[in-house]
Amino acid sequence: MVRFSRVSKTYANGVAALADVSLEIGTGDFVFIVGPTGVGKSTLLKLIYREELPTRGTVSVEGRDVTRMPARDIPFLRRRVGVVFQDFRLLPRKTAWENVAFALEVTGTAPPHAERRVTELLETVGLAARADALPRELSAGEQQRVSIARALVHRPKLLLADEPTGNLDPDTSWEIMRLLAGISEAGTTVVVTTHDQTIVDRLRRRVIAFDRGAVVRDDAEGVYAGED
């Protein structure tokens, strides 16, 4: 699904986010990317949905080298890769329903199909009852559910979540993580960056640990901290 081949990324301001990273994420995997803040976890995700280009190396998604992708193809890559953020990025003046619908609207989905899809997604994330609430009327956990529903509108094969529980209390975090795990079980590849040790240790999934731009550990059923 995703393959990094000797990828390095140095930003224009001189910060080296990734140094010679090679890794592979298989179809249907659920992967935690862990490590302290500022070690290149977000950069890793940005390279996958082509928000950033690597300085060296190649990144391929579904067998396609996204580093050589022409600009006009990028929107179509992003319809196959859903992204969720710590700060939700919802539009404050649109309801939950409208926020999800917006993603379908601006990509030219036929209204009858789009309307069915929005309702169905809000049920999937357990927010059908709160569909007409504005983001400020929703709890943080509910807002994150809306943003997950939005990321799923195009039935992506790959879902990226950048610190999705960073703003949530432990109970809500666990619910969101269970939702993501459920999405993974339905066949979507899920990549989650986090530094929530409790959740990582509890879910026992593949853990890739980063430090200073390099992979320091990659365990199939890992925990947050290495036992070495």
Partner 1 sequence: MPARTEAAGRRVRPLGLRYVLTEGAQGFARNGLASAASVLITAVTLVALGGALAVAGALNHVAAALEQQLQVVVYFRPGVTPDEVVVARSRLERMPGVAGIEYVSSQEALRRLEAQLGPRAKFRDLLRHNPLPASLVVTATGSDRLRAIASAARDLPGVDEVRDGGLVLERLLGVTRAVRLGGAAAGVVLACIALVVIAGTIRLTVFARRAEIEVMRLVGATAWFIRWPFVVEGAVTGACGACGAAAAVAAGYALIAGGAARALPFVPLPGAGEVAFDIVWKLVVWGVLIGVTASLLAVRRYVRV
State the residues that interact with partner 1 by CB under 8 A: 50, 71-72, 74-79, 83, 89, 91-92, 95, 97-98, 101-111, 114-115, 118-119, 131-134, 137, 150, 153-154
Nearer to partner 1 by Cβ, of 64 and 79: the residue is: 79
Tell me the C-alpha to C-alpha distance, in Å, between residue 33 and each of 47, 57, 192, 219. Answer: 14, 20, 6, 11
The phi, psi pair for 153, rounded to 5°, reads -55, -40
Nearer to partner 1 by Cβ, of 38 and 111: the residue is: 111
Nearer to partner 1 by Cβ, of 147 and 165: the residue is: 147
Q: How far is the CB of 53 from partner 1 (least distance, A)?
A: 12
Q: How far is the CB of 91 from partner 1 (least distance, A)?
A: 6
Rounded CA separation 155/184 (Å): 12
Rounded CA separation 18/33 (Å): 13
Q: How far is the CB of 48 from partner 1 (least distance, A)?
A: 13
Nearer to partner 1 by Cβ, of 150 and 205: the residue is: 150
Rounded CA separation 153/105 (Å): 11
Nearer to partner 1 by Cβ, of 48 and 207: the residue is: 48
Give me 156's structure tokens. Answer: 């992506």
Q: How far is the CB of 79 from partner 1 (least distance, A)?
A: 4
Q: How far is the CB of 64 from partner 1 (least distance, A)?
A: 15
Nearer to partner 1 by Cβ, of 190 and 203: the residue is: 190
CA atoms within 13 A on the CB side of 12: 2
Q: How far is the CB of 12 from partner 1 (least distance, A)?
A: 14
Rounded CA separation 179/157 (Å): 16
Rounded CA separation 58/53 (Å): 9
- In the chain, count H helices and then E strands: 7, 10
Burial of 14 (0-12, 13-18, 19+ CB in 10 A): exposed
